[in-house]
Amino acid sequence: MRDCVDRLGRIVTVEPVIFLFMTSTFIVTPAYQQLIISKVCYELFQDKSACGDPERRDGEEEVQRRSSYILLLYMAILSLVSVPPALLLGSWSDRAGRRAVMLLPSLLSLAAGAVLLAVDLVDWVSVYWCLAAAAAVGLTGGHVSMFLSCFSYLADVTAGCATQRTLRMAVAESMIFVGGTLGFLLGGFLEQKFSLMPAFAAYMTCHALTVLYILVWLRDPQPSRSNAAPPMKEVTAECEEGGGEEEVGSVPRERSRLFILTYGRRTFHTVFCRRPGQERLKLHLLITCSFLNNLVAIGEQSILLLYLMYEPREFSTEMFGLFNSVKMLLLGLFLLGVFPLLLKCVREMPLAKISVLFRMASYVLLALANNTWMVFLVAAVGAPAGINQAVIRSLSSAIVEPDEQGAMFSFSASVEATCLLFAAVIFNGLYPQTLPTFPGMPFIVMAAFCLVVLILLQWISEMQATQPRLILQD
C-alpha cells in the first residue's frame, strides 16, 4: 500500500495545485468585475440594481467610466505589485524549497477573498477596498509565483529526462485550461443562480484545498534541498563582511537588505550569465517567445467579449461563456490526450511550430468570423495552440542548472506579468480605432505576433543543442 502511495506521489505532484488555482482565478475574475460595477452603482444611486433600470440610462455612462477606471487600477496594482516579489521568490525557492513559494499565493488569496466578501456584504465599505485585495494577492507574486514554483518543481523531478519533462510540462499546462473551464462554468452558475457571495466562498475554498494539498501531499524534490547551501553561505558571508561595524540594532535590517539584493542578483545572473555555445541567446529567445504568447493570450481576453457582442456576431453573455468553456476544454484535452501520442513519433520542436501555425490560423479566422458557427470553429482550429508554451517551458528549464530553475522561471514569469499592462495598452487601444472599419484587426495583429514566435522558434531549432532532445518511447 505504501509503495502505491509513493508511486502515486511521483506521478501526481503540482498538477492539482495549478488546477485549483486556475479554477479559483476564473471564478473570482468575473465576480470581482461584477462586484465593482454593482458597488459603483450603489455608491452613485444607493441601489445596486439601478444599473439595469431603463429609467436611469443617464447615469450608466458614469457607472461605466468609474468602473473602468477602478478595474484598470485593480489590474495595474495586481501586475506591478507581483513583479518584485516574483523576482526574489524564484531564487529563494532554489534554497528554501518549492512548497513554501507555492503556499504564499494561496494564503494571501484567502485574505483577499475575505476582503472581497466584506465589500460585497457590507454596504458602507468602499469599492476601493477591492484594490486592497489586488495588493494582497500581488504581495506574494500571485499567479506568477504559483507558476514559477510549480514549473520549477517539475523541472526538479524530471532532471535528466528531457522528453518526460516536456510531457509533464504539457500535462501541467493543460490544468490551466481544464481549471479555467470548470472555474468559468462554476462561477457563472453561482453568480447567475445565487449571488456573488457563493462565488467568493468557492474561490476561498479552492485556495484552502490548495494549502491543505501542499501541506499533506507534496514533498520538496531533492534538487531544491541539495542546492540550498551555496546561496545561504553567500548571503551569510556578505552579512558578516558588510555588517561588522554596524550597531547591533541595524544588523537585522542590513541582513534583510542583503538577502533581498542577493536573491534579486541571482535571478538576473541566472538569465544573463555566460553559458556554453549559444545557450544564453537561446534562453533569451525562449523568454521572448513566452512573453509574446502571454501578450497575445491576455490581449485576446481583454477584447474578446466586446468583439463577439458587436454586430454581426451579437453573442449573449451565455453564448460567450459557452464559447470560452468549449475553447478551454479543447485546449486542455488536446494537451492531455493528443500531445502525448504525437510526442511518440514527432519531436517536440516541430510540434511547437505546428502549434503556432494553428494559433495563427485561429486568430485570422476569428478576425473574419461573422456568424456563430465560424466563431466556434475558431475553438476547434486553435485546440493545439497550448503545445508551444509547454515546449518553451521545457526547453528553458533544460538550459539552466538544477539550482537555477526557480531563478529562471522567476524572471520569465515576472516578464509575463507585465503583459497585463502591455496588452491593455496595445489591444484595448487598437480595438476602438479599428471598430468602424475592421473590428477584427486586433486579431490580425495577434496573428502577426504569433508569426514572430514562429520565426524565433525556427531560429532556436537551428541552434546546436547541448542536450539531445529525444522522441518519447513506449
> Where does the pLDDT of residue 47 fall: very low under 50, low under 70, confident under 90, or very high at 90 and above?
low
The pLDDT of residue 366 is 94
244 burial level (CB within 10 Å; 0-12, 13-18, 19+): exposed
Residue 462 Cα to chain centre, angstroms: 29
- Give me 273's grid cell: 550569465
> Where does the pLDDT of residue 355 fall: very low under 50, low under 70, confident under 90, or very high at 90 and above?
very high
Look at residue 229 and tell me whether its pLDDT is greater than 50: no
Q: Are the C-beta atoms of 207 and 110 separated by less than 8 Å?
A: yes
Mean predicted confidence (pLDDT) in 154-183: 82
Q: Which of 315, 97, 377, 375 is nearest to 214 (CA)?
A: 97
The pLDDT of residue 36 is 84
Q: 272 vs 466, which has greater pLDDT?
A: 272
Range scoring the smallest mean pLDDT among 41-55, 167-181, 400-414:
41-55
Return the amino acid letter for 181: T
* Distance, CA of 117 to CA of 120 (rounded, Å): 5
Maximum average pLDDT range among 201-215, 268-282, 290-304, 451-465: 201-215
Look at residue 40 and tell me whether its pLDDT is greater than 50: yes
Condensed to tens digits (0 to 9), the pLDDT of residues 100-137 reads 888 989 999 999 999 999 998 888 888 889 999 999 98
Condensed to tens digits (0 to 9), the pLDDT of residues 70-90 reads 877 887 788 788 878 877 777
What angle (nearest 5°) sits at the alpha carbon of residue 379, between those of residues 375 and 382?
125
The pLDDT of residue 245 is 41
Residue labelled with grid coordinates 541552434: 463
Q: Provide the percentage of residues in the chain whose pLDDT is more than 90.
A: 24
Give the dihedral sign, CA 447/183/377/320: negative
Average pLDDT value for the chain:
80
Look at residue 378 and tell me whether its pLDDT is greater than 90: yes
Q: Are the C-beta atoms of 47 and 41 separated by less than 8 Å?
A: yes
Q: 87 vs 336, which has greater pLDDT?
A: 336
Q: Which of 318, 305, 294, 18 is nearest to 180 (CA)?
A: 18
- Give me 390's grid cell: 509547454
Range scoring the smallest mean pLDDT among 69-73, 212-216, 329-333:
69-73
* Distance, CA of 10 to CA of 472 (rounded, Å): 19
3-state secondary structure of 220: coil
Condensed to tens digits (0 to 9), the pLDDT of residues 233-288 reads 443 333 334 444 444 444 445 454 555 667 677 778 888 888 888 888 999 999 99
User: pTM for the whole thing?
Assistant: 0.74
Look at residue 3 and tell me whether its pLDDT is greater than 80: no
- Looking at the domain that runs over 19-219+275-461, which CATH code has it been given? 1.20.1250.20
Look at residue 168 and tell me whether its pLDDT is greater than 90: no
Range scoring the smallest mean pLDDT among 31-40, 156-165, 340-349, 448-457:
156-165
Q: Are the C-beta atoms of 447 and 360 separated by less than 8 Å?
A: yes
Mean predicted confidence (pLDDT) in 349-359: 94
Look at residue 44 and tell me whether its pLDDT is greater than 50: yes
What angle (nearest 5°) sits at the alpha carbon of residue 182, between those of residues 179 and 188?
130
* Distance, CA of 148 to CA of 160 (rounded, Å): 19
Q: Where are the domains of the chain?
A: 19-219+275-461
